[in-house]
Amino acid sequence: MGDITTGTDVVVIGGGPGGYVAAIRAAQRGLATTLVEKDHYGGACLNHGCIPSKAFITAADVADEAANASGMGVYADPEVDMGELAAWKDDVVDRLTGGVEQLCEANGVDLIEGTAAFEDEHTVRIAHGGEGQGMETVEFEQAIVATGSRPVEIPGFDFADEPVWSSRDALAAETVPDDLVVVGAGYIGMELSTTFAKLGADVTVVEMLDDVLPAYEEDVSSVVRRRADDLGIDFTFGEGASGWEETSDGRIAVHTETEDGTESTYEADRVLVAVGREPVTDTLELEEIDLAPDDDGFLRTDDRARTDLDHVFAVGDVAGEPMLAHKASAEGIVAAEVAAGENAAFDARAIPAAVFTDPEIATVGLTEAEAEEAGFDPLVGEMPLRANGRALTMDETEGFVRIVAEADAGFVLGAQIVAPEASELIAEAALAVEMGARLDDLAGTIHTHPTLSETLLEAAENALGEAIHTLNE
């Protein structure tokens, strides 16, 4: 087939949470918008990450809670059909990704399936998938790069090998391995370790550092670590995975090594490599527009989401940490509005983050140490879950809510939550940081009783020295 050439005001490369949101907002602002996606609309998040993982996590939690509710007088021995679970997960994904496509079309976004690469500063060439599908050229005034990220491979572990899983492979599983080795104890490794342990796997986690969730404070990560220990997950710290081989009985042996050269071997049915994600830029041919990633592979941007080229924007994982879907969407809106001539800017002060472990972790803004480093005199309040009525009725008393404020006027600077539904609870704290609320604003807001949300009120009151349901320090 011959080439087709079209023109557009804005071309968006990548249809994930950053790209499709940017495309819709650009079209809403009256710009002719073309969205190019090489795989599936919704990107890695909807198809291979956020959504399928939460589906698996929810099912695993239901099974685990039912199996361990004897203290409430509830006795059950649930059986999980992984084939049916995978089919349900796929249905959820299909509904969401289909909705993304419909929303784009309803807003007038032109959708093109294929892989886009820059030909010059105002042209991309799109290779359509499939034999004989040809190429397409799109001329544009402005471009938004939203190509996302992919799981990091490590030497000796090729994702093309059947026993070696990436997070994407794990979330496509239709059976649970009897024995699973997980390389990496960051948020992805811990979420999936917990999930597969609840689904019946014997899990061993190999981590080079000396604890789980190294990005979080020790009293935050230790709650999750204790729960993982209760689930029977084994941890080996200070070891790096060096390779694997098949065993005579059809299983695999995963080899590790410490810094001093001590070697260990762990037998398993599968090994899941979850050491992080890396930005995807290698398909873009950025050299054609004299644009180069930084040393970590990210495209540098300003607070308008612009790269070093004013008419080329980058949003989401490809634009740097934190690599979070909601951050990508927020950046996508900024990029689209700036492309439309509006005075939008991205403010990273209040980006919440959540880890869907057991219990969940959610944070926003500054920790106490970060507040001190930034020059604030921090005021800290905490509420333990063991003193919250709703937590007791849920039989979930491990965890706490912490509010960090500045001492002079009481402005809320951040929060750290370790609790069931922490990912939901953090929204109130994020709003407080975003709007410049004070401790007395949180403390003076009437919260529904009995709920977990009351812990935010109590933490604020504790910071003020006025807590009713926990001791003031």
Residue % of the chain over a pLDDT of 90: 96
CA distance 253 to 268: 6
Average pLDDT rounded to a whole number, residues 218-226: 97
> Residue 106's pLDDT band (boundaries 50, 70, 90)?
very high
Evaluate if residue 58 carries a pLDDT over 60: yes
Which residues are known to be catalytic?
A: 449
Amino acid (one-letter) located at 193: S
pLDDT band at 423 (very low <50, low <70, confident <90, very high): very high
Distance, CA of 208 to CA of 237 (rounded, Å)? 6
Which residue intervals of the chain bear CATH 3.50.50.60? 5-151+278-340, 164-275
pLDDT higher than 80, residue 40: yes
- Residue position matching structure tokens 């800290």: 380
One-character DSSP codes across 429-441: HHHHHHHT-BHHH
Does residue 442 have a pLDDT over 60? yes
**Average pLDDT over the chain, rounded to whole?**
96
Pairing between β-strand 123-127 and β-strand 115-120 as defined by DSSP bridges: antiparallel
Over 90: is that where the pLDDT of 294 sits? yes
Lowest-pLDDT range, 56-60, 128-132, 135-139, 322-326? 128-132
Residue 451: both structure tokens together: 């709920």
**pLDDT of 1 higher than 50:** no
Q: Report residue 258 CA to chain centroid gap.
A: 29
> What pLDDT, on the 0 to 100 scale, is given for residue 296?
94
pLDDT (average), residues 45-51: 95
Q: Which helix (H) or strand (E) holds 461?
A: helix 454-463
Calculated CA dihedral for residues 155, 158, 163, 167, nearest 10 degrees: 90
pLDDT confidence bin for 473, thresholds 50/70/90: confident
pLDDT of residue 72: 96
* DSSP codes, 90-141: HHHHHHHHHHHHHHHHHTTPEEEESEEEEEETTEEEEEPSSTT--EEEEEEE
Average pLDDT of the residues in 50-70: 96
Q: How far is 178 from 199, CA to CA, in rounded Å?
A: 10
Among 3.30.390.30, 1.20.1730.10, 3.60.15.10, 1.10.620.20, what is the CATH number of 352-464? 3.30.390.30
Mean pLDDT, rounded, for 174-189: 97
- Tally Cβ neighbours within 10 Å of residue 444: 11
Cβ count near 372 (within 10 Å) = 13
- What stretch(es) of the chain map to CATH 3.30.390.30? 352-464
Strand order in the sheet with 234-237: 164-165, 270-273, 179-183, 202-207, 234-237
Query: What is the average per-residue pLDDT within 255-284?
Result: 97
Query: Residue 134: what pLDDT?
Result: 79
pLDDT recorded at residue 444 = 97
pLDDT of the residue at 129: 72
**What is the per-residue pLDDT for 130?**
55
Give the per-residue pLDDT at 181: 98
- Place domain 164-275 in its CATH homologous superfamily: FAD/NAD(P)-binding domain (3.50.50.60)
Range with lowest mean pLDDT among 1-10, 189-198, 339-348, 379-388: 1-10
| pLDDT over 80 (residue 315) | yes
Give pLDDT tens digits for 128-169. Answer: 875 556 789 999 999 999 999 999 999 999 999 999 999 999
| pLDDT at site 255 | 98
pLDDT, position 133: 67
182 C-beta neighbours (distance < 10 Å), count: 30
Q: Residue 10 pLDDT > 60, yes or no?
A: yes
Mean pLDDT of the 389-406 span: 97
Longest dimension (CA), the chain: 75
Q: What is the mean pLDDT of residues 232-245?
A: 97
CATH superfamily, domain 5-151+278-340, is FAD/NAD(P)-binding domain (3.50.50.60)
